[in-house]
Structure 1
C-alpha cells in the first residue's frame, strides 16, 4: 500500500524527474534537429542563389600571365589563401524582373555595365586598391563571342561598357585584360535590386557628400553633408551623374568610391556574427544578386574569400580612378592617359 501511495499515478519522484528530463531532452533534440535542418536549407538556398560563368574555359590561355601565388597561411586544418588577387567587379542592370525595372534596370536583352572596378588585394590581404574604369572610356574591344553564337570583330574606339552589352561577362573580362594587361583572377557582378537589398539588410549606409545633389533622373535630392541612406537612395547615389559636376561619368565615380568605403565600414560594424537573422538576410541579398566566375560560385568559396579578408579594414582600402584625358575624337568621351594608366596597372601585377 505504502509503495502504491508513493507512486500515486504509478510514477514516483524519480520517475517524474525522469519523465521531465526526457521531455526536455526530446525538446532540445527537436530544436537541434530543426536548427540543423534550417541551417542545411539556408546553405542550400544561398548556394543555389549564385549564378556563374566559366570565364577561364571561355578565354583559354590567351590572357595575361597569372600572378604567382604566395603560400597560404601557416599550416592549419583549413589554411586560408593569402596571395594577391585581382577581381573585376561590375554593377549592372542585367537581370530582368520587376525589382530591377522599378529601380531603373534594363531587361535581360538590354544589359549594361553601369559600374566597373578592378579590386586589387595585396599579398597578405591586409591592403587593397580599388580602381574605377569610367564607362565612357574609349578602348580597343577585342573580338568576342556573342550570345547568339557569333563572334564580333575587333572594335577600335569602342565604349568600354559596350563589351558587356555585346558579349556579357566573358567579353567584359577580356576587354579589361586587354586594356590593363592584368589577369583578372575572379569576376563578380551585382545587379540593381541586389545592391539595394544588400544596403537595406545592413540597416542602411552613412555617406557624407561634399556638394548638393539635385538629380531628377535618379530621383536623388541631397544637401551637402552626412546622410544615412536606405537601399534605394544608395543605388540612386551610385548612379547619379546629372546632378553633380559636369554631368559626366567622372563625377559619379567619386561618389561610388565614397559609397564603397562606407559599405565596407558598415559591414565591419554591423555585428553580423552575433545576429544570425541579419547575417542570413545579408547573405541572401548578396548571393541572390551575384554572378561570379566558377572559382567563386559556391557559398564555401565565397566564405573562404571573405575569411581571408578579415584583416582588411576600410581604412586600408585605397580608391582611385584610371587616369584619363578627353578623347580627341569626342569631347564627351575619355581615353587612358599614358603612361600614367599603364604605370598604375603595372603596380597591380
Structure 2
C-alpha cells in the first residue's frame, strides 16, 4: 500500500510539473537547516564562539570545526541554503558583498591576466577593478547588453574573466546571460555574475551556463536592513579553494549575522513575489505619469531589453529607476516630499 501511495504521489507531482524538485519557498525555508542534536532546537542556533574543541574523537579531522574564521555551523547552514536556491554545488559567505567579490577576483586573476566587465557596474566593484591595475591585471569595460561585437573585440589571449551584473545597478540594464556564457566557453574564459538585483528567485545564472555567482546578501537575501554580508556560489572545487582564500584573508561573516541571514532567507520567496508585484505596479504608474521623463524597469515592454529579461527572468524585482522631468532642484523637491520611501543607500529591504 505504501509503495502504491508513493507511485500516486509521484504522478501527482508530475502532473503539476514539479516532479520531486523542491520549490523556491521550500528551499528558502528548509535548505541547509538542521536539528541541533543536544537540545533538539528546530532553528539553527547561533554558534557564537571563536574556537571549538579540537581534535575530537567522534569526528574525523576533515569534518571537525576548529576556529570560526575557518568554518562555523551557523554559517554553513546559510551557505547551503544560498547554494540550494541558486542551483549550485556549494557556497561561501563573507563579511560583505565586496569581500566576496574581492575573493572571487583574487582567486581567478593573477598579474598579466585580463578581465572584461560591463560599463554599468556597481561603484564599489569598479573601485576594486581599477585597483587591479596596481597588481598588473589589465581591464576592459564594455557595453554587452545585446550587441556582442564589443565583447568579442575586447577578448584577448590573456582574457581570464568576464564579470557582469544583470540587471545592473542602477539603470537596470539587461545582458543575455546564456549568450555571454556561450561566447566565454568558446574562448575558455570564466564568467562571474553578480545576481544581487535579481536574486535566485527571479534568475539563476548558473543554470544558464555561468561559472560563479556572487551576492551582496545585505540586500534582498537578508531583506531586513540589519546585516552586511556577501556570498559566492558555484562548483564545489572552486568553493573549496576559495575557502582557503577566505581563511587566509579573514573575510568571513560573523555567526550572528549568519543567523539573521538564515532568518531573512526563510521568507525570500514570498518577499520577492511582493517585490515583483509592487515593482511592476510602480513602474507602470510612473510610465504613465506626466511629470516623469523615463522609467527603467525590465518588466516594462518599453524597456530596451525586455525580451531578453523575459527569456531569462521569472520576475523583475522591486528596483525601479526613473527620471523626473525638470532640473536638479525640481528633482530634489520631489525626493524631499516622498511620504513612505526613505532616502538612503541599499536596496531589497522590506521597508524600501
- TM-score with structure 2 setting the length: 0.23
Higher strand share: 1
